[in-house]
Amino acid sequence: MTTTIIMEPDIQQKLAILGAEAEVEVTAVPETQQIQRGIQHPTGFIYNAKQEGGGTARLFKVLQTNACRYACRYCFTSCAIRRKRTTFKPDELATTFISLNQRGRVDGLFLSSGIVPDANTTMEQMIATVERLRLKEGYTGYIHLKLIPGASFEYIERAVELADRVSLNLEAPNAERLATLAPEKEFAGSMWGRMAWAAALIRRARTGADHDTPIRARSLTTQFVVGPAGESDRELLATVARAHCELNLRRAYFSAFSPIERTPFADLPAEDPARELRLYQADFMLRDYGFAADELPFDVDGFLPRDRTPKQAWAERHLVEPVEINRAPRRMLLRVPGIGPKSADRIIALRRDTRLRDLAQLRKLGVTIAWAAPYLLLDGRAAPGQTRLWW
């Protein structure tokens, strides 16, 4: 008779596995150069995330478990793949994070998880980890907590009470595309519906309508897998626009598909990173530049151009008259390629005291001159050396 001894991985082994496998979760919009080079995810479990107010934060990015009940066709945690599975107990994970934080190695926590044996049990373990940090360890810093599709309202409510940001990966833009990626998951209720619950709680807290429940979370995000389900850019961005409107979505993250060995999608081609870049740029147009989804420059098949930014493509079609930099309202300035929200505000502030007549003035304000100049008038005159667009 042979006796089999099963050894429980130690903390360092768990960290190596569950930290590395959390890399697929996007925590910040990658730099343009990173996307173009195909560099999207960090190595290890500490990730330097750009903060919206400037600077970076070192996030401890980790999974509670890499075990999962679902057999999603693109995913490394799929239950259909034989691999080493392990789980952090709440006290183990909280203690590990506090140790890293006290040693000055990390500034915040990004906690995600596989789903096993069910949504509520998984969320219960994740919340227990965060409760240990908040209530026992006295940690008051940044926590981003993933919401589990199908989790009960009480767990969603507790998550937004504890975390600074919550998110749920929609993965696909609609139920039809989700059925290709993850046929066991349900889009409308267990995914979109749970995001709507969280959004309502956050909205009430921000407006002061709910004084009884201390809501900490101030933002909601989601993530999409781009490519393997055959979705168009129009489908993705229509869903993103709806989420901005209905859920006050703070950010949409796009992850260009890369095949993983032994998954059903292992033989599919990797998605072009340029497509991911254009989706981010189009989302900025929706979120920060005042564009509507039906204004975006899709081709007949519903895709954005790859050879130029969507804002450049829109301008080529629609900016039929030059924009006078000294008179144009902010909304119109934001339609000019090379002018963003910050540079538009600087232009408006400066022109209160002076006339803008020189491209050098705009360059100092942060305008990308090569993109903007063909569409501008400087005090009634075309920018020097620009290609004439109007006859």
Length of the chain: 391
pLDDT of residue 55: 77
Query: Over 60: is that where the pLDDT of 5 sits?
Result: no
pLDDT tens digits, residue range 193-232?
999 999 999 998 887 766 566 889 999 999 999 999 999 9
Q: Where are the alpha helices (DSSP H) in 230-367?
A: 233-247, 273-288, 310-318, 330-333, 341-350, 359-364
pLDDT computed for residue 3 by the predictor: 41
pLDDT for res 21: 66
Task: Identify which has the larger pLDDT, 114 or 31.
Answer: 114
According to DSSP, the residues that pair with 60 across neighbouring strands are 46, 109
Cis peptide before 117 (omega within 30 of 0): yes
How many CA atoms are closer than 13 Å to the CA of 188, on its beta-carbon side?
2
- Give the separation between CA 83 and CA 252, rounded to whole angstroms: 30
The architecture in CATH of the region 11-295 reads Alpha-Beta Barrel (3.20)
User: Can you give the pLDDT at residue 214?
Assistant: 82
- As given in the structure block, the two tokens for residue 75 are 């995913």
Which tens digit of pLDDT belongs to each residue from 174-192? 999 999 999 999 999 999 9
Q: For position 41, what pLDDT does the model report?
A: 42
Q: What is the pLDDT of residues 234-292, one digit of tens each?
A: 999 999 999 999 999 999 999 999 998 888 999 999 999 999 999 999 999 999 999 99
What is the tens place of the pLDDT at every residue in 318-356? 999 999 999 999 999 999 999 999 999 999 999 999 999
Residue 222 β-bridge partners: 252
pTM for this entry: 0.88
The confidence band for 388, taking pLDDT boundaries of 50, 70 and 90, is: very low
CB 241 within 8 A of CB 286: yes
The C-alpha atoms of residue 111 and residue 62 are separated, in whole angstroms, by 5
Choice between 224 and 20, residue whose per-residue pLDDT is larger: 224
Q: Each residue of 28-80: pLDDT tens digit?
A: 666 654 544 443 444 458 888 877 666 788 999 999 998 999 989 988 766 66
Q: Strand order of the sheet with strand 376-378?
A: 323-324, 376-378, 381-382
Task: Specify the pLDDT at position 63.
Answer: 93
10 Å Cβ neighbour count for 19? 20
356 contacts: CB under 8 Å, gap ≥ 6: 325, 326, 347, 350, 362, 378, 379
pLDDT score of 79? 62
What are the start-end ranges of the E strands in the chain? 46-50, 56-63, 108-112, 142-146, 165-167, 219-226, 251-256, 323-324, 376-378, 381-382
Report, as an integer, the average pLDDT of 88-101.
95
Sorted by where each begins, the domain ranges of the chain are 11-295, 319-382
What pLDDT is stored for residue 32 in this prediction?
53
What letter would DSSP give residue 202?
H
Looking at 70-74, 89-93, 106-110, 112-116, which range is the least confident one? 70-74
